[in-house]
Amino acid sequence: MAETLVSERPAAGTAEIARGFREAREKRERRARLLKHIFLIILSFIMLYPLLWMVASSLKPDNQIFGRLSIWPTDFVWQNYVDGWFALRESFTTFYLNSMLVTVLSVVGNLISCSFAAYAFARLDFTLKKFWFALMMMTLMIPYHVVLIPQYVLFLNLGWVDTYLPLIVPKFLASEAFFIFLMVQFFRQLPRELDEAAMIDGCSPYKIYWAIILPLSLPAMATAAIFSFIWTWEDFLAPLIYLNDIKNYTVPLALRQFVDAESQSAFGQLFAMSVLSLLPVFIFFVVFQRFIIRGIAMTGLK
């Protein structure tokens, strides 16, 4: 049957028709691709425009910032950065050091405590495990505002207000369930036979965590570290509540102080400091983009 069908037409004819179809299709696909690229380029530009505008404005004199469409500064006012840096009672050097301290300790705390909890949930067997796991997942949903007041009362009574302890200690107690979840997802992908082989090779559960699970989870640890860095760096609510003395301010608090103190006049300086405050996050994003995107795909969160 098939043989007769083909032999009714000359072979060259069929090939030509097929080529025609293929070419038409390729042309259509090329045009669709081109349209997609144009769309994406315009979209990316719109998305980035506010950020570019901020960077440009940080280099302009205040009277040239508003009411113009062109963002390119006519003359570059680098002085905005210098003046902005020293505009508040404390210089931004202090705020950056404070932010760094809080962020680094928070990252360390998150990595240790969350990987502990994740290892227990993903690999160990103990009574009430499912119960605790369900509770942990529920804390993912609870807004910080719900626990805010009692936590504040607690830390006030401990004498921790206006220190960094309320910002850091919770991180050592695995208070960010997101990271536990991220690591649980990752640990579960590691073959269980590795743990079993290690068990037979004489490892305790503690040694398995240290010698097997942790070295194999560096990608997940990196993802958690990056997110933890970015979120802590940008965190506003907790510092707002717990830090009073301007000497203790983190960068976001200082920026807010800036808005209150100078907002109506020194926009160039305000934008200059805003740009600087985003710089570490931006650098992290550019360098570690791969880990960030994988982390999101892995958990389906954030």
Partner 1 sequence: MASISLKNVVKKYGTVEVVHNISLDIHSGEFLVLVGPSGCGKSTLLRMIAGLEEITDGTISIGDRVINDVPAARRNLSMVFQSYALYPHMSVRKNLAFGLTNLKMPRDEIERRVGEAARMLQIGELMERKPRQLSGGQKQRVAIGRAIVREPELFLFDEPLSNLDAELRVQMRVELASLYNRLGTTMIYVTHDQVEAMTMATRIVVLSNGNIEQVGTPYELYNFPRNLFVASFIGSPRMNLLQAVPSDAGPEIEDFGTLPLTGESITGTALTVGVRPEQFTVGTGGDVTAHGKIVLVEYLGSEVFVHVALPSGKTVMVKVPGNALHKSGETIDLSISARDAHYFGADKLRIPVFDQKAAA
Partner 2 sequence: MQRSLAKNTPGYVFLSPWLIGFICLAAGPILASLVLSFTKYDMINPPQFVGLDQYEYMFTRDRRFYKALQVTFSYVLLSVPLRLIVALAVAMVLDKAIRAIGIYRALLYLPSILGASVAVAILWRQVFAGNGVINTVLAQFGIQGPNWLADPNVSLLSLVALSMWQFGAPMLIFLAGLRAIPNELYEAAEIDAASPVRKFLRITLPLLAPVIFFNLVLQMIDAFKTFSSVFIISNGLGSPADSLLFYTLYLFNEAFKFFRMGYASALAWVLLLIIAAFTFIAFLTSKYWVYYENERD
Tell me whether residue 13 or residue 142 sits nearer to partner 2 (CB atom): 142
- Determine the size of the site formed for partner 2 (CB under 8 A): 91
Residues 285 and 248: their CA atoms lie apart, in Å, by 27
Residue 256 lies near partner 2 (rule: CB under 8 A): yes
Question: By CB under 8 A, which span of 11-19, 81-89, 189-197, 236-244 interacts with partner 2?
Answer: 236-244
Residue 234's contacts (CB-CB under 8 Å, 6 or more residues apart) are: 252, 281
Q: Which of 135, 133, 122 has its CA nearest to residue 205?
A: 122
- In the complex with partner 2, the residue whose CB is nearer, 33 or 247, is 33
Decide if 74 contacts 64 (C-beta within 8 A).
Answer: yes
In the bound state with partner 2, the residue whose beta carbon lies nearer, of 4 and 206, is 206
Closer residue to partner 2, CB minimum distance, 11 or 69: 69
Q: Identify whether the C-beta of residue 76 lies closer than 8 Å to the C-beta of residue 59.
A: yes
Does the footprint of partner 2 cover residue 10 (CB under 8 A)? no
Of the candidates 136, 203, 241, 298, which one interacts with partner 1 according to CB under 8 A? 203
Closest separation in Å from C-beta 55 to partner 2: 10
Partner whose footprint covers residue 129, from partner 2, partner 1, none (CB < 5 to 8 Å by kind): partner 2
- Give, as ranges, the residues between 46 and 65 that touch partner 1 (CB under 8 A): none
Binding flag, residue 23, partner 1 (CB under 8 A): no
Written as six digits, the tokens of 21 are: 């179809």
Separation in Å, CA 10 to CA 2, 7, 22, 151, 279: 14, 7, 19, 84, 68
- Enumerate residues 6+ apart whose C-beta is below 8 A from 169: 109, 160
Contact, 118 vs 180, CB < 8 A? yes
For 76, the token pair is 């570059």
Is 134 a binder of partner 2 (CB under 8 A)?
A: no
When asked if residue 193 is in the footprint of partner 1 (CB under 8 A), the reply is: yes
91 closest CA partner among 247, 302, 224: 247
Q: DSSP letters along 142-154, please? A: S-HHHHHHHHHHH
Report the C-alpha gap between 111 and 289 in whole angstroms.
19
Binding-site partner at residue 207 among partner 2, partner 1, none, CB < 5 to 8 Å by type: partner 1
> Between residues 29 and 201, which has the closer beta carbon with respect to partner 1?
201
Binding track, positions 51-90, relative to partner 2; x by CB under 8 A: x-xx--x-------xxxxx---------------------
Minimum gap (Å) between residue 7 Cβ and partner 2: 25
| Binding footprint of partner 1 on the chain (CB under 8 A) | 191, 193-194, 196-203, 207, 211-212, 215-216
